[in-house]
Structure 1
């Protein structure tokens, strides 16, 4: 019960309100700060703020655990406990200080006023937190969906390669099958991870290229321009590999296909530039950001889920994809 964040934060918030209220009254009435002032503030805090609010919260959380969640009932509980607390505070202060003037019937109005304010503020904070939590959950669900879309898409292309060699070159087909198994295992192992070391992504790209080299041989070449320290930075998994796959798929007729991966740091993260010497993007893809396939559209949507990150497509003697990723 007391593991609820409400109990952790409300204590200090209520204490701050009590101190500010006591100081405000002292300043407004030009009263000196004394031991009696501190004692009165302590009584107010314990019997009016802290215990009534926590008692009401305990009862409300208990009712919620029983699936009883009605705003009117919760409001009534809070205001009733605050009115009761104010009554106890009034009696305590009357006993301790001869000069204290009892509030009388105003303890009820005081309870209604403070109880309503505290309850409405708490409901507002809870609703905002719920919206943030639900938004985060939707974002994670969408990312997971996008990730899982890659698996059948990539598997289909790789199985075609294996099928082409299973009779003519069984050893090569077996080697390709093992590389595919490693890639799919990697995809499953990183399914719950938001970020992985760049080195892992590069390793999986090498395995993918080993599969493709079974089809294209030495006509496929990849160049890396990645400072060694950057290989330890963390990026979303399976982010670069689909881009490489897309480049190979759309430039399969090239006499020699050269792929380049360059990574550098920026003020807020990293910049990844992936280019090739292929036929480049058509105007439609440049305007929309992706074509009819799954891989590039998937990558675009994943990048959109990363705050302040973006993708830029261009042509420069081939296709150029620039990823600005904020980390």
Structure 2
């Protein structure tokens, strides 16, 4: 009877009512509205059929008019109000339609209707209009509530999936394995920076533990973690990688989803050549309402396996927290990610 289907051009669910429901309810309305005529004495079958037909045609008009004024067909915002412009227009046009049906009835059947009978037809039309409008309103509002509930569950699911992926990134065993190997090599050769490496490694994982339950953090805190992370990367690749940070004081007060900068830096190192001959340069800057992370593009000839969910993870968290999307741009020279950095993002 009542179901959902998909429109391919927008790939969105829309509200649809079966034609059987419309036609059968119109027949029922026609019979129900004609009961007073049926109960009268000395009324011919033709008069009863004409009365039923009038109510039937009017019911069809009310159904299709109200269906085609829903937001699905008309460019109207979804509203939860019962009394509004749609109902007023439906009633006003209903007066005209019922008047036309009465005139046609009189012309075809030479039925001389007195004023009280015309008013009765109009009153009957108002009752039919309100009944169908209320029924359709309740169905449509129920449908909208179901769609909103499904969308809310989908958003929660996406957010939980993003949080789970973030948690896995925080305790990336591959990164920890590489860091410990680097530390082992530094200790074996007596590198004087071994102590600093241990401090930065502990800072990175302490930051991970302290912020794993947070959604967003101030940019200046995220930069502290990024510097600790990048110190570990530079200890491994030395002059093969560099980080430049130039973010205004105002942008540093803004908040962004936790671990965003670290994830983007990690992606840059993972997918690009990092060597002294071909150094990887990562720049973190700010402009207008954006934090911009950019690196020179020098993709590895044999790319590492990628789940392709890192950037999508960041984008989903931005959509969940701000309703805004990140911007990604790649050309022959640079790979650039622009992150919305609006101060109204709340913690």
Q: TM-score, normalised by structure 1?
A: 0.53
| Corresponding residue of 1:145 | 164
Q: C-alpha distance in 2, partners of 1:303/1:138?
A: 15
| Corresponding residue of 2:329 | 312
Q: C-alpha distance in 1, partners of 2:147/2:190?
A: 61
Displacement of 1:326? 4.0
Structure 2 residues not aligned, in runs of 5+ = 1-79, 96-126, 342-347
| Corresponding residue of 2:338 | 324
Superposition misfits of 4+ residues, deviation over 6 angstroms = 108-112
Q: C-alpha distance in 1, partners of 2:149/2:135?
A: 21
Displacement of 1:233? 2.3
Q: C-alpha distance in 2, partners of 1:253/1:245?
A: 15
Q: C-alpha distance in 2, partners of 1:143/1:301?
A: 9
Deviations 1:40-74 (A, max 9, x none): xxxxxxxxxxxxxxxxxxxxxxxxxxxxxxxxxxx
Deviations 1:176-197 (A, max 9, x none): 3332232223234333433322
Deviations 1:265-288 (A, max 9, x none): 35xx41514224xx712689xxxx
Q: Is the Cα contact below 8 Å between 1:223 and 1:258 reproduced in 2? A: no
Deviations 1:228-250 (A, max 9, x none): 32222222222222333344454
Higher helix share: 1
Larger displacement relative to structure 2 (231-240 or 299-308): 299-308
- Aligned pairs (5 A) from 1:102-181: 116-117=135-136, 119-151=138-170, 152=172, 153-169=174-190, 172-181=193-202
| Corresponding residue of 2:298 | 280
Q: C-alpha distance in 1, partners of 2:193/2:326?
A: 40
Q: C-alpha distance in 2, partners of 1:228/1:208?
A: 22
Question: Who wins on radius of gyration, i.e. which is larger?
Answer: 2
Q: TM-score, normalised by structure 2?
A: 0.51
Q: C-alpha distance in 2, partners of 1:112/1:247?
A: 62
- Aligned pairs (5 A) from 1:237-248: 237-248=258-269
